[in-house]
Amino acid sequence: MGAPVKDAAYLDPATRKGLAEAWGLSPHAAFTPLGHGLINRTLLVTDGAHRRVLQRLNTHVFRDPALVMRNCRVVTAHLGRERAAGRYHYSVLELVPTRGGQPAAVLAGDSWWRMYDQVPDARTHDVASTPALALEAGRGFGAFARALASLDPAQVGAVIPHFHDPSARFEAFRTALAADRAGRAAAAARECDAALGFAEVLTGWKALLDARLPWRITHNDCKLNNLLFDASQRAICVVDLDTVMPGSLLFDFGDMARSMLSPAPEDATDLDAIAVRPEYFAALAQGYSDGCGTLLTPLERDHLAFAARLITGVVGLRFLTDHLDGDRYFRVTHAGQNLERARNQFTLLAALTAQAESLQARVPGPA
Ligand SMILES: Nc1ncnc2c1ncn2[C@@H]1O[C@H](COP(=O)(O)OP(=O)(O)O)[C@@H](O)[C@H]1O
Ligand SMILES: [Mg+2]
């Protein structure tokens, strides 16, 4: 007889017991996998009338899980107050504390688990299939940033320092290229040339910092599937708060643009399929402008097309750096996949650069 197959919801008996004790679950609690997140492990727990979302934090990515949980608590409490005051019109994630009143349960010394109420009747979209979805996403993440503008920035810590920092990512790439630890630089010469061309974008970025680009509390992982939608494709709740930390609105808008403007996903290898859909950019910019309202300064508004180039370049640099380092961060299913992903991102960056002016012209003025 073979060993029993472990399904995606499998929990070893000790973990199950630890979770049941921490949250007072009944012996009938059922666990099923939820969503397509890439970072944490997410399970739906059904126990009597309760439906809750249980997540194991990825402590390789989040080295300070206590800080992540503190941020989540501060952010959800603040959003809850904004909602109660009628200034935020989306649902807010509700943390379910353990029976001991803690925001997370730490099992076997190092496995961090936390629980949220499930937002009922919600669904996620992995790709933007219509401009209307991009508009809703822009509105939802924009309103989120606006609601957090009234939170004291000192309350939220940097969970991954320099996560989107373009200068730090460029330096890391140059270091990896010089070290060439996996002996892959020669065969990646074309992509490395494209990456070195990022220096021009970096000059623009440094000029923005000199011009005192505002530093705010931002989401930092504005993927479409980090927004819950209802059945009529209305955004209802921002999720995945683990990367909320100080940053620029350009990081959030840029990442949305990077992931929604092209019909091809970031690991597509058919470069001809990679394109910038201007109507998606226009919808996203309109939504973000609506959602952010008066928060968006002229400097930020004038650089939304630039933001798309900035973050697409940063992500391209990260894939290429990881390829040169021997695939230590991004999981690959075949040799060379991180090089393919880098090529994809630099192709998108070239398309964004070619259209930069016409895209920026589609950004609406202040309301
Ligand atoms: N409170 C919730 N209610 C309903 N669905 C949720 C909730 N939290 C997360 N999900 C679903 O689980 C998926 C993964 O959760 P997420 O927090 O984004 O984890 P990851 O960091 O792994 O991306 C989400 O994309 C969403 O589909
Ligand atoms: Mg997620």
Q: Which CATH number fits domain 13-117: 3.30.200, 1.20.120, 2.40.50, 3.30.1460?
A: 3.30.200
- Return d(Cα 87, Cα 330) in angstroms, integer: 38
**pLDDT for residue 1:** 41
DSSP 226: G
Choice from 53, 55, 241 to test ligand 1 binding pocket (greatest atom count within 8 A of CB): 53
DSSP 332: -
Q: Which residue's CA is minimally distant from atom 12 of ligand 1?
A: 35
Q: Which residues of the chain have pLDDT under 70?
A: 1-8
φ and ψ at residue 41, rounded to 5 degrees:
-100, 125
**pLDDT for residue 6:** 54
φ and ψ at residue 216, rounded to 5 degrees:
-135, 180
- Write the pLDDT tens digit of every residue in 80-133: 999 999 999 999 999 999 999 999 999 987 899 999 999 999 999 989 999 999
**Range(s) of the chain covered by CATH 3.30.200:** 13-117
Q: Which CATH class is domain 131-360?
A: alpha beta
* DSSP, residue by residue, 160-223: STTSS-HHHHHHHHHHHHHH-TTS-TGGGHHHHHHHHTTHHHHHHHHHHHHTT---EEE-S---
Other C-beta atoms lying within 10 Å of the C-beta of residue 224: 22
Pocket around ligand 1 at a 6 A CB cut-off: 34-35, 37-40, 42, 53, 93, 116, 118-119, 122, 124, 225-226, 228, 239-240
**pLDDT for residue 17:** 95
CA 288-289-295 angle, 5° bins: 105
**Range(s) of the chain covered by CATH 3.90.1200.10:** 131-360
Quote the ligand 2 centre to 26 CA distance (angstroms): 28
The pTM of the full predicted model, rounded to 2 decimals, is 0.95
- Write the pLDDT tens digit of every residue in 136-189: 999 999 999 999 999 999 999 999 999 999 999 999 999 999 999 999 999 999
Quote the ligand 2 centre to 248 CA distance (angstroms): 20
* Contact present, 238 and 140 (Cβ < 8 Å): yes
Other C-beta atoms lying within 10 Å of the C-beta of residue 10: 13
Choice from 32, 34, 114, 116 to test ligand 1 binding pocket (greatest atom count within 8 A of CB): 34
Q: Which residue's CA is minimally distant from atom 16 of ligand 1?
A: 240
